[in-house]
Amino acid sequence: MDAELDALLRTRLAELDAAHRLRRLRPWHWGDGSLHDADGRALIDASSNDYLGLSQHPLVKARAAEWAERHGAGAPASRLVTGTRDITLALEQRLAEFKGCEAALLFSSGFQANATVIPALAKVGAGDTANAAAIFSDELNHASIIHGARFAKCNTEIFRHNDLDHLDELLGRHSANPGRKLILTESVFSMDGDRADLAALVQLAERHGAALYVDEAHASGVLGPQGRGLAAECGGVDVVMGTLGKAFGAFGAYIAGSRALIDWLVNRCAGFIYTTALPPAVLGAVDAALDLVPGMDAERAQLARNSQRLREMLAQRNYDTLGSSTQIIPAVIGSDADALAAARRLEEAGVLGVAIRPPTVPEGTSRLRFTLNSRLDEQGMQRLLDAVAASLPLRC
């Protein structure tokens, strides 16, 4: 290692530590279906994205093992070489049907999808150059969407969070611009747990001749009819992105939309073309999750009830939950040090609710971010509420 670079890295890390911004990896054990820390202490899991508990479902695990056994541990190449099988295409067709779209395309991860599909869409214009397109992105969009917008290297406007009047105004400023317009949003925001008004966004997009791209990472499997997401509920969304590592309990992501959209991405999206295809075990897990997710209304209802109870308790204690109406529930604390201390107290009381700090969230809004899952039964939920009461003091 270059000594100068090494010294510089150490200095920067020490600065992060002094500012309570240093992140460290901690090992967890969750294979048996419950969460344990490195010392073997069981904790109530209020921080995972395995919203329906499918990563531990016997059918999902069995099909992952079966497809690995039958087709091999890994894919032999990228999708356009020898990485596409009949099972890959059949799964993409199932995902398209699940989302109520014409076609779908698998990606290695949600990050990769957002970071590379947005640039691929921005260059649909003349001769693959990006200069004609303009992007309109919600200020609280996920880091992967921000990366996508940056890689697109075109005019990008950031609209205030969920502020459609602001978006309308920004789109209006581009009315004389003949280039295409692309609006980017999440349907459920990953750090605030609130929702975008997709029906209003569809109307606004139509009025301004813009295309609408919606990240459904936290809605797919959890919200909308049979867990199909909020875009399926309202219709009219041009590009739907979903992940398979959260409610689907597996790994990977997909884009769903028109056949032409998918064919374009097969031809022009670097994050799809230049990477090895997903392994058969992952495809098997997703296939099994697709069998299960539509029938899990009882689990979704339980998740919604539990989320409501936690939100009510936090509101009683005067914590701002930032308009959350989903299984993602923030409790804003303020400073980084206070948020870390609150997470520590909560963990001592037996609950994992991690602290989220800038740059993941805006300055001054460090928070505990609870993400509930449907496996939390009445007893677990009571323990969670008791721990919150014991570790988060009443705010005035």
Catalytic residues, by residue number, are 49, 142, 186, 190, 215, 218, 246
Q: Closest CB to ligand PMP belongs to which residue?
A: 110
Place of tokens 């016997």: 58
Shortest gap between Cβ of 280 and ligand PMP (angstroms)? 18
Nearer to ligand PMP (CB atom), residue 118 or residue 387: 118
- Between helix 378-391 and helix 297-316 the angle, nearest 10°, is 20
Rounded to whole angstroms, the Cα distance separating 310 from 349 reads 16
Nearer to ligand PMP (CB atom), residue 103 or residue 140: 140
| Assigned token pair, 394 | 């009443």
| Assigned token pair, 166 | 């602001």
Shortest gap between Cβ of 77 and ligand PMP (angstroms)? 22
Nearer to ligand PMP (CB atom), residue 190 or residue 365: 190
Shortest gap between Cβ of 252 and ligand PMP (angstroms)? 7
Rounded to whole angstroms, the Cα distance separating 270 from 225 reads 33
Rounded to whole angstroms, the Cα distance separating 206 from 201 reads 8
* Binding residues vs ligand PMP (CB under 6 A): 109-111, 114, 142, 144, 186, 190, 215, 217, 243, 245, 253
Largest CA-CA distance found in the chain, in angstroms, rounded: 62
Shortest gap between Cβ of 145 and ligand PMP (angstroms)? 7
| Assigned token pair, 327 | 């299984």
State how far Cα 270 lies from the chain centre.
21
| Assigned token pair, 153 | 């290297």
Q: What does the chain come to in residues?
A: 396
Strand partners, 240: 214, 256
Contact 185, 154 (CB under 8 A): no
Shortest gap between Cβ of 392 and ligand PMP (angstroms)? 24
Nearer to ligand PMP (CB atom), residue 254 or residue 319: 254
Residues 6+ apart with CB under 8 A from 128: 268
Nearer to ligand PMP (CB atom), residue 307 or residue 391: 307
